[in-house]
Amino acid sequence: MGVEESLSRLAEMVDGELLGDSGVRVRGVNELAAAGEEEITFITHPRLATEAAASRAAAVIVPRGVELPGKPAIRVKDPYLAVAVIHNHFLHRPFAAAGIHPRAHVGPECRVPAEVSIGPSAVLGTGVVLGKRVTVGPGTVIGDHAFIGDDCVLHANVTIYAHSRLGRRVIVHSGAVIGSDGFGYATDDRGRHVKRPHVGSVEIEDDVEIGANVCIDRGTFGKTVVREGAKIDNLVQLAHNVVVGERSLLVSQVGIAGSTTLGRGVVLGGQVGVAGHLELGDRVMVGAKSGVHNSQQPGAVISGIPAIAHKKWLLAVSAFQKMPELIKEIRTLRKKVAGLLQEHPAGEPDAE
């Protein structure tokens, strides 16, 4: 909590407009209800302006169009972004290398720089290469010949299989498993499932974050790839040879079947399933709990099982909920038409 910044310096940092006393000193960030007198807080909607003005906070980050008479503020286009940048600034600490804990095991032929932290009960196999300032949490296991780039953080009890490659600044949360065998079998004449060898690997590019208990299978041949800046929430499943495009966002419990490719900036809502061997174009968005059975054009916004255009799905869902009434109505119509036909039998169509 040592850092202290002037409001004007913070405003600069986020390209914001300074309102009020530029000399205010700030020592941290907090949410509206909890912010103290030395902290900056934020609101994302004008309706919170009154509450913000009355808060104890030293200053407030506010969206465009908001005034806070009497309270110093920084006005920005995107308060979420500004608060993230400022909060990260306050929390930033230089990497403090703890070295290799005496209860960690580092196998032969590893390349481990001095500037790392490897926790107790962690295990590195043979020929593992760590970049600078890598953190390997307690109980984390890194398989033979895996490569972990500079500034990666592997939390506790992570498992990285042999030959996986992680870029720089990758964060992997506890329980995640990277590089397990894909689910691939050939079935023989007697119905036995013969395991197909999985000789491919996993490549995670720079600035990816991988949630707790995520599973990423290695390629059957070739690679499973998560591209630069993609973010993967807890309990997501990526099968063999999946490619996740740059800066895509996969919300919790998503599952993607083998050999499917996502473009850049794809967003999959929670519990979405995507079938195998599909291509989802750039910026495709899929509503939570949907099942995607077909490839999608860039920018498509889809929902449902199987997923269709989101707008169409909304209409269909609304209709679905009226189905019992509809059925009644059809029954009534049928009776009315039958009555009319009894009177005027010529109205009867010739055939179905």
199 belongs to the binding site for its own copies (CB under 8 A): yes
Minimum CB distance to its own copies, residue 23 (Å): 26
Q: How far apart are CA 341 and CA 348, in angstroms?
A: 7
Minimum CB distance to its own copies, residue 156 (Å): 4
Cα Rg, the chain, nearest whole Å: 28
Query: Which residues touch 163 (CB under 8 Å, ≥6 apart)?
Result: 143, 144, 145, 146, 179, 201, 218
Please select the residue that binds its own copies; options are 16, 143, 167, 245, rule is CB under 8 A.
Answer: 143
Nearest one of 116, 250, 242, 236 to 176, comparing CA atoms: 236
2 belongs to the binding site for its own copies (CB under 8 A): no
> Taking a C-beta distance cutoff of 8 angstroms, is the pair 149, 130 a contact?
no
Write out the binding residues for its own copies, residues 4-63 only, by CB under 8 A: 29-31, 34
Choose the stretch contacting its own copies; rule: CB under 8 A; options: 4-12, 45-53, 54-62, 288-296: 288-296
Nearest one of 44, 58, 65 to 10, comparing CA atoms: 58
Write out the binding residues for its own copies, residues 210-229 only, by CB under 8 A: 211-213, 215, 217, 220-222, 229
Residues paired with 105 in a beta bridge? 123
Report the catalytic residues: 240
One DSSP character per residue, 309-347 reads: EHHHHHHHHHHHHTHHHHHHHHHHHHHHHHHHHHH-GGG
Please select the residue that binds its own copies; options are 13, 27, 127, 275, rule is CB under 8 A.
Answer: 275
Write out the binding residues for its own copies, residues 64-103 only, by CB under 8 A: 78, 80-85, 87-88, 91, 101, 103
Minimum CB distance to its own copies, residue 203 (Å): 15
Helix (H) or strand (E) holding 73: strand 73-76
201 belongs to the binding site for its own copies (CB under 8 A): no
Please select the residue that binds its own copies; options are 13, 278, 288, 301, rule is CB under 8 A.
Answer: 288
Q: List the x/- string, 178-197, binding to its own copies by CB under 8 A.
A: --xx-x-xxxx--xxxxxxx
Q: How far apart are CA 304 and CA 291, in angstroms?
A: 6
Looking at the Cβ atoms of 132 and 289, the one nearer to its own copies is: 289
Residues touching its own copies: how many (CB under 8 A)? 121
Bridge pairing between strands 39-42 and 59-63: parallel
Looking at the Cβ atoms of 70 and 92, the one nearer to its own copies is: 92
